[in-house]
Every structure is written in C-alpha cells, then in structure tokens.
Amino acid sequence: MAKKRAGKKVALKDRKTGLVIFGIIHIIIGTFCALSVPLMIFSMLAASTLDKSAAPSISTDQMILVVLLYLLLAVWFVWMGVGSILARKWARVLILISSWLWLICGAICLIVILLLMSDIFGPMAMGEEMPDEIAVVIQSIVMGFMAIILIIIPGAFVLFYGSKHVKATCERRDPQVRWTDKAPLSVITLSSIWGCMAILMLWQGFYRWAIPFFGVVLSGIPGAVVVLIYALLFAYAAWGTYKLQIKAWWCGFVLTIASGVSMGITFSRLSLLEFYEQMNMPKESLEMMKELGMFQGSTYLLVWGIGFIGFVGFMLYTKRYFKASAL
C-alpha cells in the first residue's frame, strides 16, 4: 500500500507553467477592468457634452458604484494573478471559489437571457424592419460572447485550479501554513459568500437604502437601519463560520432564510418595476427595461427560487463540519 501511495504522489505533475499562464490571464482581465473605468467616464462626459439635452441613463451615484466595482475587480484579478504565478495556496483556493460562483451565476444569467431573448431582440432589432436571418445571426453572436464570458472562462478556471495536480503543485511550492488551510473549502466558500453579502448590503446606500422587507420596500433611514443590521449579522456569520463556530453558522443560515422569505413575500405583492423605482433608478433606464420586457412574467422569481433552494442545500451540506464545535 505504501508503494502504491508513493507512486500516486510521484504521478502528480508539476503545473507551475499552467499557474503562470492562468495567472497572466487573470492579470490581463484585471488590466481590462482597470482600463474600462476611464473609458466609461470619458464616454459619459462625451455624451453629455455632445447632447446636453439628453437625460443621463445612469445617475451619478450609480456611476460611482460601477467605477468602484470595476476597480475592485481590477485589484482582485491582478492580486489573484500574482498569487497564481507565485503558486500560493491561498490564491488557488480563492480563485477556485470565485470561479465556481462566477460559473454558477453566469449559468443562471445565461438561462434568463435565453428565456428573454425574443423580448430583448424584438425592440432592439427595431421590430419588423430587420430580417429574421440577421436577427438570428445577431442573437448567435451575443449568446456566443455571453457564453465565453459567463461559462467558458470561469469553467476553464474551475477545471484547472480544481485539478489535483495544481493543488499538489501549490502545496509543494508553498509549504507554509496559510489561512485557507485552516478550514474546509466548502466552509471558506460559505464564509466568502456571507462576507460578500455584508459588503453588497452596504452598497444599497447608492440606491437610497432600498431593501425588500416582508411585503414592503423600505428606503431612507428605515431601510438604512435594516441594511446595516443585515450587514453586521452577515459579517459576523462570515467570520465566525470561517472559525467553525456553530452559532455563527446558525446566524447566517437563519438570516439567509429570513432574507429569502422576505424577498419572496415582497415580490409576490410588488413588481420589480416598483422596487427599482424605490431604488431611484433613472426613468430612461426603467423605460428601456420595460421595452425589453424585463418586468413581465415570473421568470426571475422562478430562477431566483431555484437558486435559493440550491444555496440552502449548500448551507446544510456545510453543517457537517461544525458538529465537533458545538460551543
């Protein structure tokens, strides 16, 4: 048995070259995100200068949010790229987690786009003036591009960084104990998701603190209070879950269920249009979304419900790691 195990270890291939290549790809993506920031700002300034009578399709607060998002993505991808090139264990874990989330969310987005394809391209194709053949070509190009961004790229990252060869390479080249070694991968994933939820809650400040709350939409000071409470609780759940504290896991679990029930009740009574109006979305953006049929039907609720059930199952799966730490 010892010889067989030793043979298996020897059979593991060194993937240092692959780590460098995929690290460079991450840095390129991060650079693209960084370069997108001045391009977006320039395009908005140019549009307002050329046509001062045109109303902006995005508010200043929303533009700041988009810029911050792209800057964070730039820092993230460059940071992960450097970590991959250096074959750091923490980089492999974080890239694997973020790539799985990217892939799952991308698949959901792609499904929604497919379901709404006819509505999206009807108004955009200017109705009956565009031949069906050209519309099909445009749809194919758009879907192909979206598939590359949402499925192929994160899927490639998952396959590469999830490989046992890559894991062995990082462990051999980075023998130091890292913080990602102190908890199971699924626990770190759950902790990361709850940490992101805490951050995303604070971003509601850019949208008048609007938040669904058991049948109504709170905004302003009441919304801010609820959002801040949610953010603090999710932050505690994220940190405590990483530390394998069962109380923190229960906090995150109950909070997630409550948030899901709250959203379900709210959007069964209110439409997405009413919610976006509470978020102070520009009228031009709302009109565009109306034309694209984005407020009609139960497509979003159905897809969201399936995703929510899947996440609940994942949370329950991670509970096995907390049995030994009941205090």
Helix (H, G, I), strand (E, B) or coil at 177: coil
Query: What is the per-residue pLDDT for 242?
Result: 95
Sort strands 216-218 and 211-213 into parallel, antiparallel or unpaired.
antiparallel
Q: Smallest Cα–Cα separation from 190: which of 244, 153, 262?
A: 244
Q: Identify whether 121 is part of a domain.
A: no
CA distance 266 to 320: 32
Dihedral of the alpha carbons of 100, 104, 109, 112, in degrees to the nearest 10: 170
CB atoms within 10 A of CB 162: 15
Q: Report yes or no on 166 lying in a domain.
A: no
Amino acid 286: pLDDT: 66
Residue-range definition of the domain harbouring residue 325: 183-327
Q: What does the pLDDT read at residue 143?
A: 83
Is pTM beyond 0.75 here? yes
Best CA proximity match to 293, nearest among 123, 58, 138, 142: 123
For residue 26, is it within any domain? no
Write the pLDDT tens digit of every residue in 145-162.
Answer: 889 999 999 999 999 999
249 falls within a domain: yes
Burial of 81 (0-12, 13-18, 19+ CB in 10 A): buried
| Dihedral over alpha carbons 215, 217, 218, 219 (to 10 degrees) | 180
pLDDT at 163: 94
Is residue 198 assigned to a domain? yes
27-to-75, 82, 87, 174 alpha-carbon distances in Å: 9, 7, 14, 21
Walking along the chain (327 residues) 10 residues at a time, the average pLDDT comes out as 48 90 96 88 66 55 81 95 96 96 90 69 51 71 88 96 95 93 94 94 85 88 93 96 95 95 85 75 66 59 82 94 62
Query: Number of structural domains, the chain?
Result: 1
Q: Is residue 209 classed exposed, middle or buried when 0-12, 13-18 and 19+ CB atoms within 10 A define those classes?
A: buried
Residue 168 falls within a domain, yes or no? Answer: no
Residue 292 CA to residue 187 CA, distance in Å, equals 39
The answer as to whether 136 is a domain residue is no
Q: Is residue 205 part of a domain?
A: yes
Read off the pLDDT of residues 39-59 as tens digits, 9 standing for 90 and up: 877 776 665 565 555 545 566
Question: Are the C-beta atoms of 311 and 256 separated by less than 8 Å?
Answer: yes
Residue 282 DSSP label: -
Handedness of CA 31, 32, 33, 37 (dihedral sign): positive
DSSP class of residue 179 equals: G
What's the pLDDT score for residue 22? 97
- Backbone CA torsion sign across 22, 23, 25, 26: positive
